[in-house]
Chain A
Amino acid sequence: MTGRDALAAETPPVKAPGADHDGMVERRGAGLWLTHLGLIVGLLFIFFPIWLAFVASTISQPEIARPPMPLLPGDQFIENYTRALTSGINAPVALMLGNSLVMALGIAFGKIAISLLSAFAIVYFRFPGRQLFFWLIFLTLMLPVEVRIVPTYEVVAGFGMLNSYSGLIFPLIASATATFLFRQFFMTVPDELAEAARVDGARPMRFFFDILLPMSRTNIAALFVILFIYGWNQYLWPLLITTDPSMNTIVMGIKQMFPSGDDIADWPVIMATSILAMIPPVIVVVGMQRLFIRGLVESEK
């Protein structure tokens, strides 16, 4: 038993708040308004820094430097964003966005493809060392990227993949989590389905593409969202292996924009870049919201 379990076991059960009421959905009148008020205040609290960043990206450098900072957008929107996208500070932001997009998509698709295939192998084939391989994959869950970053760098440098998309993508592509997730999902697929496909004449890969893959689509969508954001937010790895500014990704690029020594920070451009960096993940999450939530909540029968 871990310490946390022991603690949980000793804590007396706490009555769920609102247990005496008819439940949250049924609540009417003042309670409803209070709930909404609480949520709105919370939302404003969270949203405020983002709003400030947006405001800062639409005004000029002197306006930012001279307190108090305005709370309403200024008139420099187009200029600041054009400057950020086309020239940036070290590299044009448009280029960095493109790099990030390639890396995030590469990692998301690569991870999904590899983990689908390895989960397929582990669940549907009996080969010597099957369990061993599964536990080896599982073991990598316990090693964070930072632990193996030096040897990985060595390998990538040895292959001459520094400052390249393959160097950005391949080392991050293996995923124990996704393999594990697909393994669990495949194990819930009835054996009879695989047998029916066998009787129908489907070879293993045909079964994989025609039946297993379409059945996993909600899981794949959910995973895609998570992995895209994971790839998009990579910081340490791109920082290590991209020395050429034209290969910088956006998340590390923002940090690179910060002035060193006595340089003056171009805050409007940095803020515009930050806002731009948020847009693709937001699009992915909002665009795939329905599939994403379905993938997390329900398992298709």
Chain B
Amino acid sequence: MATLSLRDVKKRFGKTEVIHGVNIDIEEGEFIVIVGPSGCGKSTLLRMVAGLETVTSGEIAIDGARVNEKEPMDRDIAMVFQNYALYPHMSVFDNMAYGLKIAGTPKGEIAERVEQAADLLQIRDFLARKPRELSGGQRQRVAMGRAIVRKPAVFLFDEPLSNLDAKLRVQMRLEIRQLQRELGVTSLYVTHDQVEAMTMADRMIVMNAGHADQIGAPLEVYSNPATEFVAGFIGSPPTNFFEAGGRGRIGVRPEHLSIVEGAGAGQLGATVANAEPLGAETLVHVRLENGSLLTVRQDGAAPIPAEGTGIGLAWDGRHEMRFG
């Protein structure tokens, strides 16, 4: 367990600056998710913490000690890669033991720690197999196991679930979170999936084109987004942005919009484009006069207006979001 802090961390590739100064102090045992669209620099930031990329300027400190110049192995970190990066010719046991073997851990202790981790991840039966004989989910567990056995100060996850199918992804994300709580290891987790960020994070860093637009707890970020980008990126379906009656551009989340029957009613007139009933809720897509599409999220039991009918949109002024 350790703290991790980034001080004005910047990264330049040649003349292009891709990370424009990120600051954060991460507490012991905290689970931090870095989320953003592809190309926003989130993976680069993680790789800088791992020591796989050099830090152009600023400082990265683990437990208060500057690690900028240290090799990955000397930083007391463990990393789970997107494609798992398991050694194809080694058995699961050897994959998990490799780091310990290099560190010169005694054989008995290696076996003990690998078996402990294997029990925790329920992969004990696969220890003798080769990675290619495992399913995607099992490989994922082995990659986790390889990180766990090292007992590192910080876990780094680089989109670890992006190669799994949707169902397994939901299950693994719960498991990873639970495991991290049990072990209490400070974690940095990169994803492009805002649902993963919302469900897993203690705090999240929303990255946008190399800037950390907002750092905060998921619900705090959701209800008080700092920028229009954050409001649009976090939440699914995304926040609606539109011009409302001379008051400038505002954002309202789909669940805060409601449909009022009859043309001319409500604060804004629109026509129903189509509706997606999902069971528990229905997403109604409506078209404004200027042609832009908005989404309204309503209860599954509420009546679904027919396509092409004119309706009015209403919302509470408290839910309006404005960005400079």
Chain A residues engaging chain B, CB cutoff 8 angstroms: 190, 192-193, 195-202, 206, 210-211, 214-215, 217, 300-301
Q: What does the 1/0 interface line of B96-108 toward A look like (CB < 8 Å)?
A: 0011001100000
How many whole Å from B194's CB to the nearest CB in chain A?
24
- Whether a CB of chain A sits under 8 angstroms from the CB of B116 is no
How many whole Å from B246's CB to the nearest CB in chain A?
53
Determine if A195 and B88 form an interchain contact, defined as CB atoms under 8 angstroms apart: no
Determine if A193 and B102 form an interchain contact, defined as CB atoms under 8 angstroms apart: no
A-B interface contact total, Cβ < 8 Å: 63
A192 to B86, CA, bound (A): 9
Please pick, from B50, B82, B85, B88, the residue contacting A301 in the complex, using a CB distance under 8 A: B88
Determine if A192 and B85 form an interchain contact, defined as CB atoms under 8 angstroms apart: yes
- Whether a CB of chain A sits under 8 angstroms from the CB of B87 is yes
- The 5 A-B pairs of least Cβ separation, nearest first, read A201-B73, A200-B99, A192-B85, A196-B85, A201-B102
A193 to B79, CA, bound (A): 12
Q: Which residues of A contact B90 (CB under 8 A)?
A: 214
Determine if A195 and B87 form an interchain contact, defined as CB atoms under 8 angstroms apart: no
Q: Which residues of A contact B103 (CB under 8 A)?
A: 201
Please pick, from A202, A214, A217, the residue contacting B102 in the complex, using a CB distance under 8 A: A202
What are 14 A-B residue pairs whose CB atoms fall within 8 Å in the complex?
A: A190-B85, A192-B82, A192-B85, A195-B50, A195-B79, A199-B52, A199-B78, A200-B99, A206-B102, A211-B87, A211-B89, A214-B89, A215-B89, A300-B89
- Whether a CB of chain A sits under 8 angstroms from the CB of B2 is no
A8 to B85, CA, bound (A): 42
A239 to B88, CA, bound (A): 45
- Whether a CB of chain A sits under 8 angstroms from the CB of B197 is no
Determine if B132 and A195 form an interchain contact, defined as CB atoms under 8 angstroms apart: no
Residue of A nearest to B74 (CB): A201
Determine if B102 and A199 form an interchain contact, defined as CB atoms under 8 angstroms apart: no
A24 to B29, CA, bound (A): 64
A202 to B71, CA, bound (A): 11
Determine if B102 and A196 form an interchain contact, defined as CB atoms under 8 angstroms apart: no
Task: Specify which of A201, A206, A215 lies most central, judged by the most chain B CB atoms within 10 Å of its CB.
Answer: A201
A214 to B87, CA, bound (A): 10
A201 to B146, CA, bound (A): 13
Interface residues of B in 69-125 (CB under 8 A from A): 71-73, 77-79, 81-83, 85-90, 98-99, 102-103
How many whole Å from B3's CB to the nearest CB in chain A?
20
Determine if A192 and B83 form an interchain contact, defined as CB atoms under 8 angstroms apart: yes
How many whole Å from A174's CB to the nearest CB in chain B?
28
Number of interface residues of B (CB under 8 A): 25
A206 to B98, CA, bound (A): 11
Q: Which residues of A contact B73 (CB under 8 A)?
A: 198-201
A210 to B146, CA, bound (A): 16
How many whole Å from A254's CB to the nearest CB in chain B?
42
Q: Which residues of B contact A217 (CB under 8 A)?
A: 89
Residue of A nearest to B47 (CB): A195
Determine if B72 and A215 form an interchain contact, defined as CB atoms under 8 angstroms apart: no
Q: Which residues of B contact A202 (CB under 8 A)?
A: 98, 102
A198 to B73, CA, bound (A): 7
A192 to B150, CA, bound (A): 18
Q: Which residues of A contact B77 (CB under 8 A)?
A: 199
Q: What does the 1/0 interface line of B33-71 toward A look like (CB < 8 Å)?
A: 000000000000000001110000000000000000001
How many whole Å from A282's CB to the nearest CB in chain B?
30
Determine if A200 and B83 form an interchain contact, defined as CB atoms under 8 angstroms apart: no
Determine if B102 and A215 form an interchain contact, defined as CB atoms under 8 angstroms apart: no
A193 to B51, CA, bound (A): 15
How many whole Å from B281's CB to the nearest CB in chain A?
39
A199 to B50, CA, bound (A): 8
Task: Specify which of A190, A195, A211 lies most central, judged by the most chain B CB atoms within 10 Å of its CB.
Answer: A195
Please pick, from A195, A201, A210, the residue contacting B52 in the complex, using a CB distance under 8 A: A195
How many whole Å from B86's CB to the nearest CB in chain A?
8
Determine if A195 and B85 form an interchain contact, defined as CB atoms under 8 angstroms apart: yes
Residue of A nearest to B52 (CB): A195
Q: Which residues of B contact A214 (CB under 8 A)?
A: 89-90
Please pick, from A190, A196, A200, A301, the residue contacting B132 in the complex, using a CB distance under 8 A: A301
Q: Which residues of B contact A300 (CB under 8 A)?
A: 88-89
Q: Which residues of B contact A215 (CB under 8 A)?
A: 88-89
A196 to B83, CA, bound (A): 11
On whether A196 and B88 interact (CB within 8 A), knowing A201-B73, A201-B99, A301-B132, the answer reads no
Apart from A196-B146, A197-B98, A215-B88: 5 A-B pairs, beta carbons within 8 A: A195-B85, A196-B85, A199-B72, A199-B78, A217-B89
On whether A193 and B87 interact (CB within 8 A), knowing A198-B73, A201-B102, A202-B102, the answer reads yes
Residue of A nearest to B75 (CB): A199
A230 to B51, CA, bound (A): 45
Q: Which residues of B contact A192 (CB under 8 A)?
A: 81-83, 85
A202 to B74, CA, bound (A): 11
Determine if B89 and A200 form an interchain contact, defined as CB atoms under 8 angstroms apart: no
Q: Which residues of A contact B86 (CB under 8 A)?
A: 196
A264 to B73, CA, bound (A): 73
Task: Specify which of A200, A202, A211, A301 lies most central, judged by the most chain B CB atoms within 10 Å of its CB.
Answer: A200
On whether A196 and B71 interact (CB within 8 A), knowing A201-B102, A214-B89, the answer reads no
A300 to B87, CA, bound (A): 12
Determine if A198 and B71 form an interchain contact, defined as CB atoms under 8 angstroms apart: yes
Determine if B102 and A200 form an interchain contact, defined as CB atoms under 8 angstroms apart: yes
